[in-house]
Chain A
Amino acid sequence: AQSVTQPDIHITVSEGASLELRCNYSYGATPYLFWYVQSPGQGLQLLLKYFSGDTLVQGIKGFEAEFKRSQSSFNLRKPSVHWSDAAEYFCAVARGGSNYKLTFGKGTLLTVNP
């Protein structure tokens, strides 16, 4: 079964600093990869996705992610974090084919210090 690992439960960065959130997946083929963001008590907002092609994908709110097949990773990055980026971030995979359900990682809580 596919699985998603987000090694960092909680990350704290200063406003204006760069950010990288890690995500590793376990699956034989290349799955479809996603990053979602969830603010407290809110729904999940899709930040970006990777299906195929260019391994560096751009998303909303200035986020980007890079797919590295050799490392089974799909890390999320942002060059300069804003206080409004404080939230929980979930990496997710879909197996592909006719299997569309998302399997989520445990999430990384991002705290931004002023």
Chain B
Amino acid sequence: AAGVIQSPRHLIKEKRETATLKCYPIPRHDTVYWYQQGPGQDPQFLISFYEKMQSDKGSIPDRFSAQQFSDYHSELNMSSLELGDSALYFCASSLGGEGRPYEQYFGPGTRLTVT
């Protein structure tokens, strides 16, 4: 079965640079969530989108922005990167609306290292 695809899988950036992470949800899934997992930490919710509209916002820094496109893929844009942004970034997707929005399926993650 098709899963959530994230690219790139690994990314190395320097401080103050910009990074863009991409997420392709499971086909027919219309809801995308972004989570950040620091080293040895639990995943923390950043932001979510349903039908291309932001549906919820968590502890996402102002330096970060995200959007969901017409084909339901999502991009997380991160600017002025800091060392503390080094983490594993997960995207998850679900079928919202009358579907099963609580069943979130996670991608393999993008490991971002800021040097």
Chain B interface mostly: strand
Contact B56 A99 (CB under 8 A): yes
How many residues of chain A are within 8 Å of chain B by beta carbon? 23
A34 surroundings in chain B (CB, below 8 A): 102
Chain A interface mostly: strand
Choose, from A15-23, A56-64, A71-79, A102-110, the stretch at the interface: A102-110
Complex Cα distance A51/B105, Å? 16
Q: Which of B33, B56, B104 has the most CB of A within 10 A?
A: B104
Contact B106 A105 (CB under 8 A): no
What class of interface size applies to chain B in its complex with A? 20 to 34
Q: Out of B35, B43, B94, B107, which one reaches A100, CB within 8 Å? A: B94
Complex Cα distance A94/B94, Å? 13
Complex Cα distance A44/B89, Å? 11
Task: Say yes or no: is B109 at the interface (Cβ < 8 Å to chain A).
Answer: yes
- What are the interface flags for A34-47 relative to B under an 8 Å C-beta threshold, 1 for contact and 0 otherwise? 10100001111110
Contact A46 B102 (CB under 8 A): no
- Could you give 11 example pairs across A and B, Cβ below 8 Å? A41-B111, A43-B4, A44-B92, A49-B103, A51-B102, A100-B33, A100-B101, A100-B102, A101-B56, A102-B33, A102-B43
